[in-house]
Structure 1
Amino acid sequence: MAKPQPSWALGASEQDAPASPRTMRTLRKIQSHQVLSTSSALIAQTQSTRQVGSSGAGSEPAANPGATTRTRGHRRARSNSDAAAREAAATQPATQRRPARKTGSGIGVKRSLLDVLLRDGPQSANLHEGLRELKYLVLSSRVDADGDGMSPYRIYLWLILLDVPAMPTDDYLALIHRGRSPAYAKIRNDTFRTLATDPLFKRRVTEASLIRLLNAVAWKLHDSRPKPRSRPTSSRRREMELLVNTPPSIIEESTFGGELDKVNNVTTADSPMYVQGMNVLCAPFLYAARSEVEAFALFHYFVTRECPGYIRGAMDGVHKGLRLVDRCLEIVEPKLAAYLFSKGMHAELYAFPSVLTLCACTPPLPEVLHLWDFLFAYGPHLNILCIVAQLIRMRDQIFESPSPNKILRSFPPLDAKEIIALTVLLVRKIPEDLYAEMINHAK
């Protein structure tokens, strides 16, 4: 058997012959082994050089610097995306390097009192005192947020203030997987117009997420409706025939009569699954939340517990709120109210969107979020006085205009700090009976 010749001893024809796949795999394995071996040797050499350099300042350089240069050629080249930064870091003196910035709750990070209270909880075991302190901090100091109104803990503040329990994600997904609700067509007619001129909202919230959330709320409201009772069976009709000669009072106290009255009452007080304007009321929840589940839990709780009258029937709660705007304005600013009434300008003509959406229809959105911090802390009913406060801040423009309708057609941009400060002053001027109506007008 002939001894195999090395590659340099083969002829030209044999060198030009293509290598077999097995030979190529063997060559790749050998090359990979050489690269790994070279990298390991380079790492070991670098570590030994650092150790020698740290032992004394007069250490000698490596005996063969060319070997190091050759071994570096086998290393895998990195991308040039951070080449400039690495070169600058290498040339920058050690004395000018900035210390590593600490994040989270470490030393050197300034945290507000509101942030500390939310993270650590109240110092005492009294939850009522802790909640009172939390509300006071919301009033005295604004929630820390960036220029877009985003805060890392605002959504948790809302969940605490509204006392919304945690919701499993699977429950929300089950509502999504049910498909289109009976109110889907109405929802699609409104979602594309939701805060259409607000670039912050359009950049963060998609129309698809808004449709999913409103459709899930519609399914939830649909499921909460009582199912209509079936007609009495033949045996039940016979029992009713036996009661023909029975006094009416006894018939009314029967089980069937009570159930019929209950069904009739529910039918008259039944609420739709979606009304126009719910899309705008839902928008700040989606903008501030970290997930659709959080936004859904907050929004569903709000429309069913805090302001069910806003979405019931003909929006009776909204119309009550509009009448309260006129009455409160007449008490705190009688001259301004008289001027508007003389021009035929009642709140129903200009304040309907502001009452229904808790001023979310008035930009900018970051100021809306700050205003909602205050409303959720001390009650959404104070939105009535927030609208009155906006009218008072527009007082000079309204008096100078012969047609206030043009001015009130669109309110000026919100200034949450000024509106909240003025609202706190207006609360003292409202009689107790009128204030009680404000609290219950949306129920």
Structure 2
Amino acid sequence: MAMPQPSWGIGVSDAPSSPRTMRTLRKIQSHQVLTTSSALIAQTQSSHLSATHGTDTGSSATQSGSTIRTPARRPRSNSDAAAREPSSLVAPVPTQRRPARKTGSGVGIKRSLLENLVRDGPHNGNTKQALQELKYLVLSTGVDADGDGMSPYRVYLWLILLNVAPLPTDDYLALVHRGGSPAYAKIRNDTFRTLATDPLFKRRVTEASLIRLLNAVAWKLHDTKNKPRSRPSSSRRLEMEMLVNTPPSIKEEPELEDPGSGPSSAINDSAIYVQGMNVLCAPFLYAARSEVEAFALFHYFVTKECPGYIRGAMDGVHRGLRLVDRCLEIVEPKLAAYLFSKGMYAELYAFPSVLTLCACTPPLPEVLHLWDFLFAYGPHLNILCIVAQLIRMRDTLLESPSPNKVLRSLPPLDAKGIIALTVLLVQKIPDDLYAEMVNHAK
């Protein structure tokens, strides 16, 4: 069943190789099982049987001293540059392909209200009302996904919630074809460690794909940092002089952007790559159906939602860590006092969780569900999600004489439980502190 492009005024990358009609996008399929154990047994038995009965095929192969090699099929991934798997040494035997796993968007399968809204777009063109409904459905029903966390419409949901515009594939390819960026060595030093113990991620996303995307983002940030600021033209200077010389009584507010402030200034002060961006990038690549989609989402996120996380000093991350301590002190003062008495402040255990929006804590399918919530209601709520994880560990921490050992690795994520507790914690946070949470990553 084809997956149509959402009619929200925003969308996915317009890859030249795919048709541009609304309902011709291929249905996503999780990493397929390439060779089942029963198929391998059947192949081995067939090869052994041929050799035993002295068939022509077996004898010719034996006489020539060579074996028939059949390349094994690779799992589905976003990379076309990964090393091939070792070839099979047995003769191929025709086997029936396993049917693709249904993920809730095929013929005769009932779709959820959330999926229908993503597919069909706003009713009567009321985008604001539809967006509110979309967020509520994310919170109340969640995104339908299989056991691996794969959903046929999650990436479109993220594009809508983050309001990411379509990106031409050629723009991404142009960045890839530029070769190694100034941060290429740092990127290569991190990518092989990205979610290294997660088999789901390793099956679907290759290191080559991760390197390409991070290198393309580094080039994009590099170009923005080194772009010369344009000087005002003579006519523009004349307008500015007229504004200066105009009496205050009739002066209008000039529509000029302060060159020393705003998002462009934040990007100019940012690094083109910092350690941890590889983990933050990983869920985007895992959930997306192409590198172009993942690139558009990731670049938008680090430049618009959390530019403070990628500045050289990572001041946004450090502000987030201080907010974790302050929020914990408000909502759970006894636990906070105990941790502080042991010298356990958030900067000692929560740095990866703040920087990566909890993507550093497995399992990956739960990370994706948590991100659905964060993208719907704001990534700043990740601060309270970390506090919620601490509260869920409250008894264990209070009973431990060395809580630092407990906090070396947080328990596996339970997205549903964390989200439910986070919603309750929001009501306990004062307005001024909540405002700091909203702006801490800018």
TM above 0.5: yes
Whether contact under 8 Å (2:324, 2:346) holds in the other structure is: yes
Aligned to 2:357: 358
Q: Determine the C-alpha separation between the residues in 1 that align with 2:273 and 2:267.
A: 17
Task: Tell me, yes or no, if structure 1 residue 417 matches structure 2 residue 416.
Answer: yes
Q: Determine the C-alpha separation between the residues in 2 that align with 1:267 and 1:126.
A: 33
Task: Tell me, yes or no, if structure 1 residue 369 matches structure 2 residue 368.
Answer: yes
SS in 2 for 1:131: helix
Whether contact under 8 Å (2:353, 2:386) holds in the other structure is: yes
Moved more, 116-125 or 146-155: 116-125
Q: Determine the C-alpha separation between the residues in 2 that align with 1:165 and 1:227.
A: 22
1:15-94 alignment runs, 5 A limit: 81=94
Q: 1:405 to 1:129 in 2, by over 3 A?
A: same
Aligned to 2:161: 161
Q: How far does the alpha carbon of each residue in 1:79-99 deviate from its partner, in whole angstroms, 9 at most, with x for none?
A: 98479xxxxxxxxxxxxxxxx
Q: Determine the C-alpha separation between the residues in 2 that align with 1:268 and 1:435.
A: 24
Whether contact under 8 Å (1:363, 1:414) holds in the other structure is: yes
Q: Which has the higher helix share?
A: 1
Whether contact under 8 Å (2:105, 2:111) holds in the other structure is: no
Structure 1 residue 126: Cα displacement? 1.2
Whether contact under 8 Å (2:267, 2:303) holds in the other structure is: no
Structure 2 residue identity aligned to 1:369: L
Q: Determine the C-alpha separation between the residues in 2 that align with 1:411 and 1:164.
A: 32
Task: Tell me, yes or no, if structure 1 residue 122 matches structure 2 residue 118.
Answer: no
1:241-320 alignment runs, 5 A limit: 270-320=269-319
Q: Determine the C-alpha separation between the residues in 1 that align with 2:428 and 2:152.
A: 36
Percent identity among equivalent residues? 82
Q: 1:403 to 1:294 in 2, by over 3 A?
A: same
Q: Determine the C-alpha separation between the residues in 2 that align with 1:439 and 1:368.
A: 21
Structure 2 residue identity aligned to 1:382: L
Q: Determine the C-alpha separation between the residues in 1 that align with 2:110 and 2:422.
A: 30
Q: How far does the alpha carbon of each residue in 1:16-43 deviate from its partner, in whole angstroms, 9 at most, with x for none?
A: xxxxxxxxxxxxxxxxxxxxxxxxxxxx
Task: Tell me, yes or no, if structure 1 residue 110 matches structure 2 residue 110.
Answer: yes
Aligned to 1:52: none
SS in 1 for 2:174: helix
Whether contact under 8 Å (1:269, 1:313) holds in the other structure is: no
Aligned to 1:217: 217
Whether contact under 8 Å (1:269, 1:312) holds in the other structure is: no
Q: Report the number of matched residues.
A: 316
SS in 2 for 1:167: coil
Q: Determine the C-alpha separation between the residues in 2 that align with 1:376 and 1:392.
A: 23
Structure 1 residue 123: Cα displacement? 2.4
Structure 2 residue identity aligned to 1:303: V
Aligned to 2:55: none
Structure 1 residue 411: Cα displacement? 0.1
1:176-255 alignment runs, 5 A limit: 176-227=176-227
Structure 1 residue 268: Cα displacement? 11
> Structure 1: which 5+ residue stretches go unaligned?
1-78, 84-100, 230-260
SS in 2 for 1:124: helix
Structure 1 residue 120: Cα displacement? 1.4
Q: Determine the C-alpha separation between the residues in 2 that align with 1:368 and 1:132.
A: 23
Structure 2 residue identity aligned to 1:156: Y
TM-score, structure 1 as length reference: 0.68
Q: 1:174 to 1:338 in 2, by over 3 A?
A: same
Higher radius of gyration, 1 or 2: 1
Aligned to 2:344: 345
Q: How far does the alpha carbon of each residue in 1:215-240 deviate from its partner, in whole angstroms, 9 at most, with x for none?
A: 000000000014569xxxxxxxxxxx
Aligned to 2:441: 442
Aligned to 1:426: 425
TM-score, structure 2 as length reference: 0.68
Q: 1:211 to 1:331 in 2, by over 3 A?
A: same
Q: How far does the alpha carbon of each residue in 1:279-337 deviate from its partner, in whole angstroms, 9 at most, with x for none?
A: 00000000000000000000000000000000012000000000000000000000000
Q: Determine the C-alpha separation between the residues in 1 that align with 2:166 and 2:216.
A: 17
Structure 1 residue identity aligned to 2:125: A
Aligned to 1:323: 322
Structure 1 residue identity aligned to 2:402: S
Task: Tell me, yes or no, if structure 1 residue 140 matches structure 2 residue 163.
Answer: no
Q: How far does the alpha carbon of each residue in 1:374-397 deviate from its partner, in whole angstroms, 9 at most, with x for none?
A: 000000000000000000000011
Whether contact under 8 Å (2:194, 2:279) holds in the other structure is: yes
Whether contact under 8 Å (1:135, 1:378) holds in the other structure is: yes
> Structure 2: which 5+ residue stretches go unaligned?
1-91, 97-101, 230-258
Q: How far does the alpha carbon of each residue in 1:254-293 deviate from its partner, in whole angstroms, 9 at most, with x for none?
A: xxxxxxx969x96996211100000000000000000000
Structure 1 residue 105: Cα displacement? 5.8
Task: Tell me, yes or no, if structure 1 residue 151 matches structure 2 residue 151.
Answer: yes
Structure 2 residue identity aligned to 1:365: L
